[in-house]
Amino acid sequence: MIIQKTSALIVVDVQNGFIDGNLAVLGSKKIIPTINDLIDRFDNVILTQDYHPANHISFYQNHQNRKAFDVITLDYGEQILWNSHCVQGTSDADFHRDLQATKAQLIIRKGFHANIDSYSAFMEADRQTKTGLAGYLRERKITDLYIVGIATDFCVAWTALDAVDFGFSCTVVLDACMAIDVNDSLAQAKETMIAQGVQFSDSKNLF
């Protein structure tokens, strides 16, 4: 058994908006049973939740003459524009009803600043604004992180890369993730994660 008391499961953005809502990722609903099985097996569970204001800078609707997946340049670098999704106070932002969310000890809300996007559970896209997750994990003597959820090539990857940067051992559980894969983003994300020391596994190999 690999999972220890010093291990934590981070469940990334298993929300209506990414499953059957405004930014649905094809096939993402089928990973929920695997995620629920992992939640049952971990003592330490953290959820992340995309939680945007309606005027968020990443929504193409908030930019003239733009469409989804266009790339613009902001003060902190390049920004992909998305369809409006996971807006605060809407059902699109809620966790999917099939997710066993009640076991989570902590929920990290991301993207609630209107002028900064946020993929990672650790740090927003400006690479300065921290969420406090690293400190939370260290206070609880967590050293090994297992990351699942949506999307492999964006929020999962950014979370995994930051986990390594903050000094944690990090494994992405591939059969409990689903990718958007726009413009070869999945292959690029995997290459970057491998180069930075992120490990990959399937759920059946964790126990």
Q: What whole-number distance in Å separates Cα of residue 112 and Cα of residue 167?
A: 26
CB burial class (10 A; 0-12, 13-18, 19+) of residue 76? middle
Domains in the chain, CATH or no CATH each: 7-52+89-205 (3.40.50.850)
Of 50, 86, 92, 110, which residue is the catalytic one? 110
Could you read off the pLDDT of 137-162 as tens digits, one per residue?
999 999 999 999 999 999 999 999 99
The pTM score is 0.95
How much of the chain exceeds pLDDT 90, in percent?
93
Of 92, 144, 155, 190, which residue is the catalytic one? 155
Q: What whole-number distance in Å separates Cα of residue 76 and Cα of residue 96?
A: 31
Our answer to whether residue 155 is catalytic in this structure is yes
Could you read off the pLDDT of 109-128 as tens digits, one per residue?
999 999 999 999 999 999 99
Q: What whole-number distance in Å separates Cα of residue 123 and Cα of residue 163?
A: 10
Tokens 């944690």, residue located: 168
State the DSSP string of 41-60.
H-S-EEEEEE-B-TT-TTBG
Q: How many CA atoms lie within 13 A of 175 on its CB side?
A: 11
Could you read off the pLDDT of 48-107 as tens digits, one per residue?
999 999 999 999 999 999 999 899 999 888 999 999 999 999 999 999 999 999 999 999
Our answer to whether residue 110 is catalytic in this structure is yes
Tokens 């920004």, residue located: 79
- Average pLDDT in the chain: 95
Q: Which of 26-35, 40-49, 73-82 has the lowest mean pLDDT?
A: 73-82
Structure-token pair, residue 49: 């939740």
DSSP letter, residue 21 = S
Q: What is the pLDDT of residue 195?
A: 98
Our answer to whether residue 13 is catalytic in this structure is yes
| For residue 3, pLDDT beyond 80 | no
Of residues 119, 125, 154, 118, the one with CA closest to residue 28 = 154
Q: What is the pLDDT of residue 183?
A: 85
Average pLDDT over residues 33-57: 97
Q: What is the pLDDT of residue 1?
A: 53
How much of the chain exceeds pLDDT 70, in percent?
100
Of residues 1, 96, 3, the one with CA closest to residue 49 = 96
